[in-house]
Amino acid sequence: MPPPLPYPALHATHGGIWIAAPNGEVRGIGRGEAAARAAETPMIVLNAAVTASRLGIADFSGLDLLELFAFVHPARFAVPTPAGLARALGLAPPVDDARAPAFLIEAAQAMLGRMADREAWPEAYGAWNSAQSLARLRWPWAPAISQMLREPSRPERGLFARLPEWDEAGGRAQPRNVQLGEAETLDRLARLVGDNAEPREGQKQYAATNARAFAPRIAEGRPNLVLAEAGTGIGKTLGYLAPASLWAEQAGGAVWISTYTKALQRQLDQETRRLFPDPAVRREKVVVRKGRENYLCLLNLEDALQGGFQNRAAILAQLVARWAQYSRDGDMVGGDLPGWLPSLFRRAGSTALTDRRGECVYAGCPHYRKCFIERAARASEGADIVIANHALVMILAQRGADGGHPLGRIVFDEGHHLFEAADSTFAAALTGQEAIELRRWIIGPEAKARGRRRGLSARLSDVASYDEEGALAIEAASTAATQLPADGWLGRLGENLPLGPVERLLAAVRATVYARANAQDAGYGLETDVGEPDPMLIDAAQPAVEALEALLRPMARLKQRLAAVMEDGPDWLDGQARARIEGAIAGLTQRGQLVAAWIAMLARLGGPLDPDFVDWLAVDRIEGREIDIGLHRHWLDPARPLAETVLKPAHGVLVTSATLRDGEDWTIAEARSGAVHLDQVPRHVAVPSPFDYAARAEVLVVTDLKRGDVAQLGQAYQRLISAAGGGTLGLFTAISRLRAVHARIADRLARDGLPLYAQHVDPIDTGTLVDIFRDDPHASLLGTDALRDGVDVPGDSLRLVVMEGIPWPRPTVLHAARKAAGGGSVHDDRIVRARMRQAFGRLIRSAQDRGHFVLLGAATPSRLLDAFPGGVPVLRVTLDEAVARISGQKSTPSADFLPTHLSGITP
C-alpha cells in the first residue's frame, strides 16, 4: 500500500465547496477561502480546469486525478466525475458531494497502489521512463509516483522504438461483380442481431432494400442510389452493415461508411464487433479513417518531447506519449485519447501535436514507417469496412475519381447532413488565414519563426538537385508566394498599412464590409454580398489576380516536373522518396485547385454574378476581436458537385437517416442528396419507428413567456428542470442566451442536487459533456446545434428536451440566396421542421423511454408542428401547466389540443 498522501482534497460544485483534510475529515468552505487555500496549498482535485471555473479563478495548479488516471491507465476512459472515476477504478462512489473530497483521496491512493504490483498492472511498461521525464518537468504527481515505481530490471524501449511499422502492400484488385440475394442478406442480418433479438419486420425490409445499392451498375455515371429513411429503433446500423459486409466478403471490395458526427463513428466501431468478434480479425477488416488533423503526428510529438513545448504543454506531451504506446490507432479526436485530457491543459499544445497545417514531410519523416496517419490510410486499402466522415469521403472520392480509383460503394449515414457537408467541402474562401497558410506551406519558416515547418525547397531538395526545371519552378513558386499575406497581416490591416497585393485586397474587403454590414457594434462576425462592389475593391482585385496567377503557374510546372521525375525513376528514388514526391504532388494538386478557385472568384468582381454560386465578403470576429477577413464562395446548390464528384463515379450509394424526408415527400431528400442531378430515379424505402410515440411522449408549446426576456427564460428553464428532476437537454439558438441562463440557474439547481453542465461555459469538450450527462440521471445539459443531432442518450438520463425558441436559420447572405431560390418561407419552414425533428429525436431512443418535449415559443405556427411523429399529443400551455404536467400533476390544459395531422393549419 502507498504511504498516506499529505495533501488535502477539494471538491467544488455550483451547490457548494468541500475540503477534506489528509485524514479524510471534511468540512464545507466558502469560495474565498477555497481560492486562498488553492493558491497556497497543493490540493487533490478532479478536473482542475472545472474546479478553477467553479472557484472563479483563472487557474488551479493542483494535483489533478484525471492526469494521474491518464498516467496509470493510458488509452482508457473514465467519466470525469467522482462516480465515473469510482466505476473506472472499481471503487464505491461517494453518496453525495459532501463526501466527494474524501473519495478523491481514496481514489488517489488506489491508483498509486496499482503501481506497486508491476505484474498486475497492464500499463506498467514505459511508466518508469515517463515518470522520470515528468519529474524533471516538476509534475505535481511525480513525487508520489516515484515512491511507488521500481526501476525495471531491463531498460525499456521508448515510444519511437516500440511502435510497429506498417508494411507496404500491393494494389487491391477490382471488386467482383456480385448480386446479393434477399435470403442471404436477411441471413446475415439475423446473425448480426443474434438469436435472442426481437424480430423486426421493418429492419428486414430496410436491409433487403439497401442490398440493391451493392448491385453492379448498369451504366457509367448511373450509380445504384438508395434513399432509405429508417425511424429511430429500427436498428438502422445493422440494417446496412448486413448487406455491406456480405458484399465486401463476396466481392472482395471495400465499403465506405460515412457519418457526420464522431459519436456515430464510435457507435459504428462498436457495432462492427458483431461482424468480427476476434479483435485481431477486426483490426484487419474494419478501419476508422479520419482526416490527418485528427491523428497524433509523431514528428510533432518528438519535437515537443525534445524541448519544443514548455511548462504545462510539456507535461501534456509526456502524457500523450504515454498514451501513444497503448493507443489503438493514434486518434486524438474521438479515439481512445480521453476527450477531457487536452482540456485539462486549456488546449495548451494539443493542436500542435497533430498535422493541422498540411506540413507533413511524408517519407522525409524519420517516423514515416510508424506513422499513425499512414498506417490508417494503408489499412483502409485492404479493409472490408472503412468508417469515415462525410467531408473526408467527399475529398477522397474526388481524388480517387481523378486518379482512376473512385470509391465504389458508399453508405452515407446521417444522410440529412449530406447537403451541409457538401456545402463546406466544395466551398472556397480567400481569407487572410487561408492565404498565410499557403505561404507557409510553400516558403517554410521565415525570419525568427520556430518549429519544424519546412517549405518546398527543403522538402524537395533532392528533386531540385536532380531536375533543373523543377528547381526553377520551386524558386519561382517561393518568390511568388511572398506576395501573399505575411505574419502580422491582421494588425497591419487594422492600421490600414497593408503589404502586397493580396493584403491590399483584404484591406478593401474589410473597408467594404464595415461600410455596408449591419450591427458593427454587436461584436459578432460581419458580412455583405458582393453586389455593386466599391471601385476600391475592384481596383484591388486585378493586382491580386495577377499575383495569384504568378503563383499558380510555377505550382503547375512543379507538379509536371515531379511527375516526370517519378517516370524517369532515378537511382535515388526509393520507396520513401517516391512516397514523399507523391505527397508533394497531392499537396500541389489540392492547393492549385484552391488558388484557381480564388482567381475565379476575383475574376467575377464587378461583373455579372455567376448564378451557380453565392459570393460574399466577411470579417470574422469573436466578441468584437477580428480573427479573419476575406471573400467566400459557395455553390448555390452544393448537391451538384456532390453528384458529379462522389455519386456518379461510384457504383452504389446508400443515403440513410431517420429524418430524410419532409413529411411524406421525397422531393427534398432527392434534391439535398444530389439524386436530382443523376439520370435515373433512386430507390426509396421508408420504415417507420416501432416506438409508440403517442403513448410515451408529449409536446408542450409554452405560450406565456415574453420573447427576449432572459430573466423569464432562465426561470422557465429552472422550473422545468426542477420539475423533471434533471435529465434535461436544453437547446439554444444563441450562445449568449445559453450563458446568461446558465449563470442564473446553475447554483439554484445544484443546491437541489441537480447538477447543470453547459457547452461554451464548462471547460470540457462536448463529447465528455454528453458522457457526464448520460452517466447521471439527475444532471442536465445546455447546448447549441452540436447537441441537437448525434446525441444518443437512451434511458432515464434524458426525459425532457427544452428548446428556447423556434430554430430559424440565421439570416446570412448564403441563406438569403438559397431561400430566394428555394421558395421563400417554404424553404425556411423545411429547415425548421428538420431541426425540430432532429431535436425531438433525442428524446425517445428506446422502447422504454418516455418524456416531454417543450418548445418555449408563444408564436410557434401550427404549420411547423407536423415535424413531430403522428399521434404525439401537442399542447399549447402556460409555463405553470407545463411544469405541472412534467412533474406528474396532469392538470387539464386550458389550451386546445393540437392533433399533429391538423398542424398544417396556421392559426
Mean pLDDT of 238-246: 96
Q: Is the separation of the CB atoms in 845 and 798 below 8 Å?
A: yes
Closest by CA to 598, choosing from 437, 759, 463, 479, is: 437
- Measured CA to CA in angstroms, residue 764 lies from 407, 533, 657, 770 at distances of 36, 43, 29, 10
Q: Is the separation of the CB atoms in 66 and 88 below 8 Å?
A: no
- Measured CA to CA in angstroms, residue 40 lies from 24, 43, 61, 164 at distances of 20, 9, 10, 45
pLDDT of residue 464: 83
Predicted confidence band of residue 703 (pLDDT cuts 50, 70, 90):
very high
Question: Higher confidence at residue 307 or residue 509?
Answer: 509
pLDDT of residue 264: 87
Predicted confidence band of residue 896 (pLDDT cuts 50, 70, 90):
very low
Closest by CA to 248, choosing from 180, 167, 193, is: 180
pLDDT, one tens digit per residue, over 769-785 is 999 999 999 999 999 98
Q: How far apart are CA 148 and CA 592, in angstroms?
A: 56
**Pairing mode of beta strands 613-622, 385-389:** unpaired
pLDDT of residue 402: 67
pLDDT of residue 666: 94
Lowest mean pLDDT among 142-156, 341-355, 472-486, 642-656: 341-355
Q: How far apart are CA 54 and CA 509, in angstroms?
A: 42
Mean pLDDT of 386-390: 95
Predicted confidence band of residue 399 (pLDDT cuts 50, 70, 90):
confident
Extract the runs of DSSP E, i.e. beta strands, from 402-471.
409-412, 428-431
Check whether 576 has a pLDDT greater than 80. Answer: no
Q: How far apart are CA 33 and CA 684, in angstroms?
A: 65
Q: Is the separation of the CB atoms in 391 and 358 below 8 Å?
A: no
Check whether 348 has a pLDDT greater than 60. Answer: no
In the block, residue with C-alpha cell 433525442: 842
pLDDT of residue 199: 72
pLDDT of residue 465: 84
Q: Is the separation of the CB atoms in 50 and 346 below 8 Å?
A: no
Which grid cell sits at 299?
514528428
Q: Is the separation of the CB atoms in 93 and 83 below 8 Å?
A: yes
Identify which of 195-199, 449-453, 595-599, 821-825 has the greatest average pLDDT.
Answer: 595-599
pLDDT, one tens digit per residue, over 257-296 is 999 988 888 889 889 999 999 999 999 999 999 888 899 9
Which grid cell sits at 424?
463546406
Q: Is the separation of the CB atoms in 767 and 818 below 8 Å?
A: no
Lowest mean pLDDT among 293-297, 582-586, 807-811: 582-586
Closest by CA to 552, choosing from 499, 594, 514, is: 594
Q: What does DSSP assign to residue 900?
A: G
Q: ∠ at Cα 472 (468, 477), nearest 5°?
A: 150
pLDDT, one tens digit per residue, over 609-640 is 899 999 999 999 987 889 999 999 999 999 99
Q: Count of alpha carbons within 13 Å of 382, Cβ hemisphere only?
A: 14
Residue 454 CA from chain centroid, whole number: 28
Q: How far apart are CA 195 and CA 197, in angstroms?
A: 6
pLDDT of residue 579: 76
Predicted confidence band of residue 524 (pLDDT cuts 50, 70, 90):
confident
Check whether 895 has a pLDDT greater than 50. Answer: no
Q: How far apart are CA 854 and CA 474, in angstroms?
A: 61
Give the residues across from 618 on adjacent strands. 527, 630
Which grid cell sits at 458?
527543403
Mean pLDDT for all residues in the chain: 90
Share of the chain above pLDDT 70, in %: 95
Phi/psi at 100 (5° precision):
-65, -45
Which grid cell sits at 591?
492547393
State the SS3 of 816-850: HHHHHHCCCHHHHHHHHHHHHHHHHCCCCCCCCCC
Sequence-distant (6+) residues with CB within 8 A of 92 are 86
- Measured CA to CA in angstroms, residue 515 lies from 533, 617, 624 at distances of 11, 12, 16
Q: Is the separation of the CB atoms in 14 and 746 below 8 Å?
A: yes
- Per DSSP, the residues of 159-210 read HHHHSPPP---PPPPPPP-----HHHHHHHHHHHH-TTSPP-HHHHHHHHHH
State the SS3 of 475-513: HHHHHHHCCCCCCCHHHHHHCCCCCHHHHHHHHHHHHHH
Instruction: Please give the single-letter amino acid code of residue 578.
Output: R
pLDDT of residue 357: 67
Which grid cell sits at 703?
405560450
pLDDT of residue 404: 66
pLDDT of residue 461: 83
pLDDT of residue 636: 97
pTM score: 0.91
* Lateral strand order in the sheet of 526-529: 428-431, 625-635, 613-622, 526-529
Sequence-distant (6+) residues with CB within 8 A of 310 are none
Check whether 894 has a pLDDT greater than 60. Answer: no
Closest by CA to 334, choosing from 298, 289, 282, 384, is: 289
Check whether 881 has a pLDDT greater than 50. Answer: yes
Q: How far apart are CA 797 and CA 780, in angstroms?
A: 8
User: Residue 465, Cβ neighbours under 10 Å: how many?
Assistant: 11
542 torsion bin: left (phi>0), alpha (psi -120 to 50), beta (else):
alpha
pLDDT of residue 903: 30
pLDDT, one tens digit per residue, over 158-182 is 999 999 998 877 678 889 999 999 9
User: 40: part of which helix (H) or strand (E)?
Assistant: helix 31-40
pLDDT, one tens digit per residue, over 116-171 is 888 899 999 999 999 999 999 999 999 999 999 988 888 889 999 999 998 877 67
pLDDT, one tens digit per residue, over 730-768 is 999 989 999 999 999 999 999 999 999 999 999 998 889
pLDDT, one tens digit per residue, over 70-97 is 999 999 999 999 999 999 999 999 999 9
pLDDT of residue 349: 64
Mean pLDDT of 658-669: 90
Instruction: Please give the single-letter amino acid code of residue 35.
Output: A
Q: How far apart are CA 115 and CA 112, in angstroms?
A: 6
Q: How far apart are CA 820 and CA 826, in angstroms?
A: 10
The three-state secondary structure class of 684 is: strand
